[in-house]
Chains A and B, each alone.
Chain A
Amino acid sequence: MSEVVITIDGKECKAQEGEYVLGVARRNGIFIPALCYVTGCSPTLACRLCLVDIDGKRAYSCNARAKEGMQVVTASEEIEKERRAIMEIYDINHPLECGVCDQSGECELQNYTLHMGVDSQRHCIADTHRPTKNWGKIHYDASLCIVCERCVTVCKDMIGESALKTTPRGGAELDKAWKDKTEKDAYAMWNKLQKSIIGVASGAESLECTQCGECTAVCPVGALVGTDFQYTSNAWELKKIPAANPHSSDCSLLYYDVKHTGIQNSEPKIYRVSSEHNYAPLHAAARYGFDFQNEVEGKDEAAFAKAVELLKTKVDTIVFDSYMTNEEALILQKIKEKYGYKLVNQDAKAYQDFLKAYTHTSGQSLYSGDLDKVKASNFVVSFGGAIKTDSPNAGYAMNNALVMNKGAGLYFHPIFDPIVENYSKNLVSITHTIGSEETIAYLLLDLFGDKEAMPESLKTYLASFHTIEKRKVQESVKEEIKELVKDEESGEEKEVVKSVTKTIEKEIEVDTNALVAMIGAQSDLIETVQKLLDKKDRFSLIAGADLYTHPRAKNIAALLGLIERLTPFDVLLVPSRTNTLGIALTCELDDEKGDFALGYNVKGDFTLSALGKGDLAMPALNQQEGTLTSMNKRVVPTNAALLFKGYCLNDIANALGLEAQWTIDYTPHLPIEKGFKSEKFDDLPNHFENDGTEKRGYLLTTENVTCKDDVEPMANVTCNESDYVYAANPVHQFSAFTNRAHQLNEAGALYASRAFLEAKNLNDNDTVIVESKEGDRLVIAVKEDKTLGGMIPYLPSFDTKIDTTPFFKTGYRFADVTIKGVNHV
């Protein structure tokens, strides 16, 4: 794409050729009104407000593409008249309930009505009864809906579920007489508006989707709101506290909307989470899992003294998880340096080792991919992770790339996912055998690797999987035969062309790649991929958490390093927990626990916990300020939304002889050699610019290191015919923290697909016994997960009452078990 210059309202603006004019204008600070357009999604042309004059012709700036020398005029008397008429029509029959509406104060219908100066109404039509719908966490008030279709668009183009669509409204027919009395575009908009309303795409009464709630975020009016938030607060009463998603490694920008708890309680309370929907989508846990704070009455001095005492005497190990800030990780590292504790964090350790092995062959200290690169690519491969539940935002980015860039993709996972399958027709789901991730890495190298640059040994190793057979194939070929025909009457000779179909026997070479059969994929996989690759030039690979704890993790990491170097793919290694990457970079981690462990949010001999059950209470992530390291390799700040009256890790560190007034005093001291920068917390920005530039914290610097090529050949991983369980959480749960939120709280179960329940002759909510080979037993209810396919159920980790760790001792997410139903008498 080349750069062009277009003129908008006399201002020369640089643009990429083919970019939408609306985007160019917004980037250059020129205001064009638009109701229905969502940045990063396709234009719907529902509102027609973005009407502009391009080279003397009327056009819609949301779908007009920039061309060299274009002259754009954004406002003229005629255009303003049209826009005013459009807003006037949106106001027909719109309930005058701004007084109670949740959107009032941040309503785009209110704003534009005032902006266009609509002070009287000329139009009228009979109103239609439009009942409200309760769709679980989402509340839809159809009478407030202006059918801008943002929700439909974002669900299709960003989230990838297409759970909503426009359905017939069944309203009064628009009288043709209005056509002469109304402006052209306004009439066309009205005609469309009068016919449709938003409904569930499946036609069902309830909304069976993952309930991410992004539709409520994009809704410009009060039609789609969170059921829990409805009528609890006005927009202007809420103070927006910028923070980062504390539950998963996308660390997207979110705002905790905070107000006093009630008339008798002035303590702040989080009422909802809002987001910058144009630039950063949020998943269900981020949106609904906001009230996971740890509430304490005051400082527990006795417990604090005991913790310090134990740290000075008995403690030799600190066990912790990856839901903490970079600063806390640095505090742990500093007290390790001072007192020689072992730091144990299974998940971050696995990731650290994986990243190390990856760096070894890729020659870069960090991976090269990020979500923006995924969004910009047109061929995306997801590999080694259940993308929908592990990292929904990576899934959104993948879907966005497939839909918006006419892209194609591959999804490798042993569990079939109908939601991911639905992203696009050009996405091929490959349900491979358990444990064959190493083979897939080799297959990707074979399919996409630059054979010229590849080391000789690898080339011969890959070639050993190919068998070239000569096969006879019958082919029908049309042949044209010229014949001279003599006309008997005239005696003239004429040339006549005849077409004859012939069957020819042909010998062709068939290249069979044994790797395809080894992963258990369809035999035509190679041809399918070749077809998908047509006109594809930007490649992304999303590698997930299954790989880091895989028995062959080290070699898979090395292979991914080679993929990074030898293929056009930008590799993204999705950190498994919120700050896994930050901890992996900051702490020196140990494998084995010592004799006396201090647990931080993990059970230890003495436990510091933000989950409310430990020996000493700690603040949760919404009560702390600090930085998190996201999967985009960005160090993003997060602020404290709520007060915490107890002690924090910094107090303990100070008692142990470190000196810092606040936890955030450690921010400039994060290890520079690992890519962090020496920047003070208070200097870190946390917002998006008008053009979508992410001004949040800073990016980690990647350094080049010398790389090696040594990879091992594949090891056999046997996959039994027995039952397997997978360690995963349902789509709106990530950890015990999400389960503390009142909107998400539930009891954990064994989640299974419909097909699994039928095959095992089980019903929803039946009790089953899961038994591992080592004899660990778990009696648990089984729940149907409608967004799951395949025959492998999963065990969650969010419910602290269910201990699933014995099944996944090594951390590897697939466990070989037997599942039996329990018959109740």
Chain B
Amino acid sequence: MELKDFKRRDIGSAYIFLNTEATPTDGWQAFKRFVKRTIKGELFVGLWIVLREMIRFDIHTLQYPLEKIEMSPRYRAIHRLLRLFESGSERCIGCGLCEKICISNCIRMDTHVDEKSRKVVSEYSINFGRCIFCGYCAEVCPELAIVHGAEYENAGEQRAHFGLKEDMLTPLDTFKAKHQKEFQGFGALSANADENIKQTPLAY
């Protein structure tokens, strides 16, 4: 923290105001703005496309919500926290890289040392209201613990919506039923990862 940060005791002045379009002051100005915004030549381009597709009758529209699309593994939707296939324990080691790299600052975690003197993540949260689903967290994760799921229906009633660890972590029954699949998408190892590794010599 720099010295100048301590000098700013009045927080109000930190707002930045943009130069926006002038607000109409009377009814005539408001009407002019309405006409200018509503009637544009591009409108007819769009109407023509709709009309053309309607006449063709071979449309590919999915009957949502009755039908849902199968997302590609590279699609970035609501996050998931995975478990280790061998032991079923959480993959996350609490390194904090996702927290650091997150450009919208929406990841937070609490860590502590447990009785086996390991680092454990006691709390983990993502504010989905802020998350821009950029995928950096999944890409930076060294354990492939945080990944993007395929669940794309994330409309909410509130601006802030927090996903906690228990919401994102593979539930134990799902895990035991072997429904957890290895993640193939953003941040996963490439197929030829082994070829790119240079081995360190070992004395034994």
Contact = CB atoms under 8 A, between A and B. Distances in A.
B69 interface: no
14 contacts: A99-B143, A100-B95, A120-B200, A125-B203, A126-B204, A232-B111, A233-B111, A260-B108, A263-B109, A263-B110, A639-B6, A662-B9, A682-B6, A686-B3
A125 B124 CA distance: 39
A104 B96 CA distance: 11
B165 to A, nearest CB: 9
B6 A625 contact: yes
Contacts of A662: 9
Interface in B80-117: 93-97, 99-100, 108-113, 117
Interface in A227-268: 230-234, 236-237, 239-242, 260, 262-264
Given A99-B142, A263-B109, A241 B117 contact: no
B170 interface: no
B1 A240 contact: yes
A150 B110 CA distance: 31
Contacts of A231: 94, 111-113, 119-120
Nearest to B142: A99
Q: Is the interface of A mostly helix, strand, loop or mixed?
A: loop
A134 to B, nearest CB: 9
A236 B125 contact: no
A682 B100 CA distance: 31
B108 A232 contact: no
A800 B131 CA distance: 49
A678 interface: no
Contacts, number: 71
Contacts of A98: 95
Nearest to A662: B9
A122 interface: yes
A132 B113 CA distance: 14
Interface in A517-554: none
B155 interface: no
Interface string A639-656: 100000000000000000
Contacts of B27: none
Contacts of B111: 231-233
Nearest to B97: A99
B36 to A, nearest CB: 43
Interface of B: 1, 3, 6-7, 9, 93-97, 99-100, 108-113, 117-120, 123-125, 142-143, 198, 200-204
A99 B142 CA distance: 8
B203 A263 contact: no
Interface of A: 98-100, 104, 120-126, 132, 172, 230-234, 236-237, 239-242, 260, 262-264, 625, 639, 662, 682, 685-686
A237 B96 contact: yes
Contacts of A172: 203
B97 to A, nearest CB: 7
A638 to B, nearest CB: 11
A120 B100 CA distance: 27
Contacts of A263: 108-110, 123-125
A237 B100 contact: yes
A124 B100 contact: no
Nearest to A640: B6
Contacts of A100: 93-95, 118-119
Nearest to A126: B203
A262 B125 CA distance: 10
A239 B201 contact: no
B117 A132 contact: yes
A88 to B, nearest CB: 11
A120 B198 contact: yes
Nearest to A98: B95
A757 B134 CA distance: 67
Contact of A239 (B1, B93, B94, B100): B1
Contacts of B7: 682
A236 B100 contact: yes
Contacts of A264: 123
A344 B109 CA distance: 49
B6 A123 contact: no
Contacts of B109: 263
B127 to A, nearest CB: 10
B196 to A, nearest CB: 13
A262 B99 contact: no
B161 to A, nearest CB: 14
A682 B10 CA distance: 14
Contacts of B117: 132
B1 A121 contact: no
Nearest to A175: B203
A125 B200 CA distance: 11
A240 B2 CA distance: 9
Given A231-B111, A639-B6, 13 more contacts: A98-B95, A121-B200, A122-B201, A124-B200, A124-B202, A231-B113, A234-B96, A237-B99, A240-B1, A262-B110, A262-B123, A263-B109, A685-B3
A795 B97 CA distance: 49
B54 to A, nearest CB: 50
Contacts of A686: 3
B110 A124 contact: no
B113 A230 contact: yes
Contacts of B125: 263
> Which of B9, B111, B200 is packed against the most chain A CB atoms within 10 Å?
B200
> Which of A99, A233, A264, A682 is packed against the most chain B CB atoms within 10 Å?
A99
B94 A121 contact: no
A263 B201 CA distance: 42
Q: State the 6 A-B residue pairs at the shortest beta-carbon distance, nearest first.
A: A99-B95, A231-B119, A231-B113, A100-B119, A124-B201, A234-B96
A268 to B, nearest CB: 11
A549 B97 CA distance: 56
Contacts of B99: 234, 237
Nearest to A228: B113
Given A124-B201, A262-B123, A625-B6, A234 B100 contact: yes
Contacts of B123: 262-264
Nearest to A141: B117
Contacts of B143: 99
Nearest to B1: A239
Contacts of B113: 230-232
Nearest to A258: B1
Contacts of A125: 203
A639 B9 CA distance: 12
B93 A99 contact: yes
A129 to B, nearest CB: 14
Contacts of B110: 262-263
Contacts of A241: 1
Nearest to B141: A99
Contacts of A682: 3, 6-7
Nearest to B4: A682
Nearest to B96: A234
> Which of A121, A172, A662 is packed against the most chain B CB atoms within 10 Å?
A121
Nearest to B108: A263
Contacts of B124: 263
Nearest to A230: B113
B142 A124 contact: no
A125 B201 CA distance: 9
Contacts of A260: 108
A61 to B, nearest CB: 31
Nearest to B204: A126
A237 B123 CA distance: 16
A99 B97 CA distance: 8
B31 to A, nearest CB: 46
Contacts of A232: 111-113
B95 to A, nearest CB: 3
Contacts of A242: 1
Contacts of A120: 198, 200
Contacts of B112: 231-232
Contacts of B118: 100
Nearest to A266: B108
Nearest to B9: A662
> Which of A123, A231, A639, A685 is packed against the most chain B CB atoms within 10 Å?
A231
